[in-house]
Amino acid sequence: MTRQNRVLPTGEIAALPFRGAWMGNRGILHDAAGQPGPARWRHKNWICCKLAFKGRKRPLMAPHSYTELFFYDEPQALAAGHRPCAECRREDYNRFRGIWERLFGPADAKAIDAALHKARLAGRPAQQCRHQAPSPDLPDGAMILTEGQPALIWQGALHPWTPDHGYGPARPVPDGPATVLTPAPLVAILAAGYRPLPHPCLTGV
């Protein structure tokens, strides 16, 4: 059975078969039987974690434990509004926080999470907060909507993405404004030098 624990770059949590390269956490979103409920978060510290850390093993969707969420790659985790975990990804988190503080001033993880929560959700019921920006000005790692589908900007090209096929062939980055999925503070972090890890299909690793 495919579990409902894959996070899309649009922020939705879906039951899809793609294998996640990263794991995430938004709190306990499932019931005692392991079935997801209507909530899409229980706290503001949305994090992106390694799949393996210090040999820890845990059953998926165990009772009274956080719901394991999975991302296709790190740019998609950022698009959904997650940041690097301060425990299993300490080096990445320190790099991320250092850039954050250069741009926005001193902040601990709680303050960063509060700012990100305001930037990633809007409206009632809360939906992904999207913004407009000129496509050619967006940094590598940002994700936009093109023809109704998410697409990643990477190495000066646009890579459309679908859950069934992953990233498609590179296209030119379009001129003009784009609907940006990645929250505005995270776009600024990317532009200032934070380099996320895309799916190996784009790096050959």
Report the amino acid identity of residue 104: F
Structure tokens at 152: 């990643």
Confidence of residue 3 (pLDDT cuts 50, 70, 90): confident
Cα–Cα dist 7/129, whole Å: 16
pLDDT for 205 beyond 60: no
| Lowest-pLDDT choice from 57-61, 83-87, 101-105, 149-153 | 57-61
Residue 162's alpha-carbon distances to 18, 88, 147, 159, in angstroms, are 10, 28, 12, 10
Which pTM value belongs to this model?
0.95
Q: Which of 83, 73, 93 is nearest to 26 (CA)?
A: 83
Report the amino acid identity of residue 12: E
% pLDDT > 90, the chain:
83
DSSP 3-state percent helix, strand, coil across the chain (nearest 5)? 25, 25, 50
pLDDT for 1 beyond 80: no
pLDDT in tens, 15-47: 998 888 999 999 999 998 888 989 999 999 999
Strand (E) or helix (H) holding 99 = helix 90-104
pLDDT in tens, 156-191: 999 999 998 999 999 999 999 999 999 999 999 999
Strand (E) or helix (H) holding 36 = none
**Over residues 112-141, mean pLDDT:** 95
